[in-house]
């Protein structure tokens, strides 16, 4: 059975063209739009779209739906465009005429094929704009300090600034090296093309929206945006030219998607994930708790906590065995 529409209490996706969908949205009604259009690489899609347009045709088509995005966004709303650097470069000047440019975010990729006569392509681009001078919502996650997975030492030496590190993590930068590729059958829901990571959509939605806000995605694909919006209690709307069966099946297994999202969330807004912190303590490497300014003593003076004390706190203390009383002679 091929579905023409699928909906939940928080949102709905319809099988329709992106322009028809965007132009049907109420002007100034959407808090955030995320768009991951076809990259014009000649791929075969179940929607039967032409993914081999001439450059001028592809750019003209993108300008049409970007103009429609501008109309449906609220003042202060955010727009994220995920595409090849080539296309985002060509479309940047046009988009800047409509929206305020904020960031060019590089999403590192590690499994692309080399191109003869060119540098090895290692990132996709995520351009971030807002409608007006400032976004209504901007609360990016903090991320863990990058450490070696073998010795658990930090990759970058912060020297004498360790005691100034925020225990909630480091500031999010515009280079995202930690977004995984979704290629394993265990996680992938769509056979015909690459799929977006739940981690990336979680970060974007967390950064630019509040619970109850409206998120729109005019290129539904496998439905990652819709699933993450649903799990984060955002209203959502979208469209997809291809069959909606895969999206519907993802919502039927939403508990599995929730576990993946919770796992990613458990790694945010802390300087070291729990497993890394435990390994660092065993190796007597510093953690937020061992730095002088992080804990107060009983006298009110900040003092570091020893590694041995923290390790003992993790292990339950054994009760001393009772010694049998000696009989009096």
Predicted confidence (pLDDT) per residue in 140-162, tens digit: 999 999 999 999 999 988 777 78
Name the pLDDT band for 193 (thresholds 50, 70, 90): low
Residue 201: per-residue pLDDT: 98
- Region of 79 (left: φ > 0; alpha: ψ -120 to 50; beta: rest) is beta
Q: Is the pLDDT of residue 310 over 60?
A: no
What does pLDDT average to over the chain? 87
87-126 residue pLDDT tens: 999 999 999 999 999 999 999 987 667 778 888 888 999 9
Dihedral of CA atoms 179, 184, 190, 194 in degrees, nearest 10, equals 40
Give yes or no for residue 302 having a pLDDT over 50: no
Residue 173 is assigned to a structural domain of this protein: no
Q: Does 30 reside within a domain? A: yes
**Could you tell me if residue 4 is inside a domain?**
no
Domain containing residue 76: CATH number:
3.40.50.150
What confidence category does residue 49 fall into, taking pLDDT thresholds of 50, 70 and 90? confident
- Mean pLDDT (whole number) for 309-319: 57
The upper half-sphere exposure of residue 3, i.e. CA atoms within 13 Å in the direction of its Cβ, equals 14
Closest-CA residue to 124 (of 76, 181, 47, 173): 181
Give the SS3 label for residue 184.
coil
240 domain residue, yes or no: yes
- For residue 116, is it within any domain? yes
Asked if residue 137 belongs to a domain, the reply is yes
Range of the domain at 123: 9-143+178-252
pTM of the model: 0.86
Q: What's the domain count of the chain?
A: 1
User: How much is the pLDDT for 309?
Assistant: 59
In a domain, 201, yes or no: yes
Query: Are 271 and 164 a contacting pair, CB within 8 Å?
Result: no
Tokens of 139: 């609360």
- Residue 70 lies inside a defined structural domain of this protein: yes
3-state secondary structure of 242: coil
């Amino acid at each position: 059975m091929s579905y023409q529409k699928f909906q939940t209490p928080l949102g709905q996706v319809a099988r329709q063209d992106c322009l028809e969908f965007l132009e049907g949205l109420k002007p100034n009604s959407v808090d955030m739009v995320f768009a991951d259009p076809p990259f014009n690489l000649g791929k075969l899609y179940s929607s039967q779209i032409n993914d081999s347009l001439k450059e001028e045709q592809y750019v003209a088509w993108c300008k049409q739906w970007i103009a429609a995005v501008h109309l449906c966004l609220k003042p202060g709303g955010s727009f994220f465009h995920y595409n090849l650097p080539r296309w985002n470069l060509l479309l940047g000047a046009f988009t800047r005429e409509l929206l305020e440019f904020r960031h060019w975010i590089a999403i590192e990729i590690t499994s692309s094929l080399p191109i003869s006569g060119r540098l090895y392509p290692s990132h996709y681009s995520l351009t971030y704009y807002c409608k007006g001078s400032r976004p209504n919502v901007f609360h990016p996650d903090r991320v863990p300090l990058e450490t070696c997975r073998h010795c658990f030492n930090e990759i970058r030496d912060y020297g004498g600034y360790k005691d100034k590190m925020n225990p909630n993590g480091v500031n999010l930068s515009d280079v995202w090296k930690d977004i995984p590729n979704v290629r394993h059958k265990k996680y992938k829901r769509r056979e015909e093309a690459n799929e977006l990571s739940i981690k990336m959509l979680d970060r974007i939605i967390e950064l630019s929206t509040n619970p109850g806000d409206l998120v729109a995605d005019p290129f539904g694909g496998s439905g990652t945006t819709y699933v993450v919006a649903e799990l984060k209690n955002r209203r959502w709307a979208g469209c997809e030219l291809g069959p909606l069966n895969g999206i519907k099946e993802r919502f039927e297994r939403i508990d599995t998607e929730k576990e993946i999202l919770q796992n990613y969330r458990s790694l945010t807004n802390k300087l070291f994930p729990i497993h890394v912190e435990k390994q660092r303590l065993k190796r007597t490497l510093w953690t937020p708790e061992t730095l002088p300014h992080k804990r107060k003593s009983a006298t009110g003076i900040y003092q570091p906590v020893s590694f041995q004390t923290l390790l003992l706190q993790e292990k339950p203390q054994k009760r001393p065995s009772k010694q049998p009383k000696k009989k009096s002679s």
